[in-house]
Amino acid sequence: MNDMIIPYLNQTLNTEDKMKFLEHIRECKECREELAMMMKVKKALESQKKELPKAVKQQAFDKINAQKDMKTVITDLFTNEIPTPKTSIKVVSYLLTTIKNTINLSLENI
């Protein structure tokens, strides 16, 4: 029954399994102790969980979207015989930004 402790804590047991588990816990001291310990561990982990600030989340999503856009731009660049000026500017801008960020990271590690 101790294989049901984590699903119980995560509330993923169906009603029938939950009832069986609770019945077993009433009678089994060993499983009750293990459940109590796991509840403490879960509580400790949850108390350490921190929410990312919205600005950080937005920055991450912006970077992901920029990379997706850049993949499209680079694909277009190599599939079209003559790239448009707009596409060329996007590629150069992306490359310069990547180089700048790489240099900044390198300088931070000095």
Radius of gyration of the chain (CA): 26
Q: Quick one: 7 and 44 in the same domain?
A: yes
* Rounded Cα–Cα distance for residues 82 and 61 (Å): 31
Find the length of the chain: 110
Q: Quick one: 42 and 62 in the same domain?
A: no
Q: What is the mean pLDDT of residues 85-90?
A: 70
Range of the domain at 94: 54-108
* Rounded Cα–Cα distance for residues 1 and 23 (Å): 11
Q: Quick one: 63 and 104 in the same domain?
A: yes
- Residue of 6, 8, 33 whose CA lies nearest to 20: 8
- For residue 109, pLDDT over 60 is answered with no
Q: Quick one: 7 and 42 in the same domain?
A: yes
Distances (CA, A) of 71 to 25, 33, 90: 54, 53, 11
* Rounded Cα–Cα distance for residues 93 and 85 (Å): 12
Q: Quick one: 63 and 35 in the same domain?
A: no
Q: Which range among 3-17, 22-36, 64-78, 84-98 shows the weakest confidence by mean pLDDT?
A: 64-78
Please report the pLDDT score of residue 25 as a whole number.
Answer: 93
Q: Please give the distance of CA 45 from its chain centroid, rounded to a whole number.
A: 16
Q: Quick one: 79 and 94 in the same domain?
A: yes
Q: Quick one: 44 and 27 in the same domain?
A: yes
14 DSSP 8-state letter: -
For the full predicted model, state whether its pTM sits above 0.95: no
Q: How many domains does the chain have?
A: 2
Kindly indicate the confidence band of residue 71, based on its pLDDT and cuts at 50, 70 and 90.
low
* Rounded Cα–Cα distance for residues 41 and 78 (Å): 53
Q: What is the mean pLDDT of residues 57-86?
A: 68
**Last residue of some domain: 48, 63, 83?**
48
Q: What is the mean pLDDT of residues 48-55?
A: 76
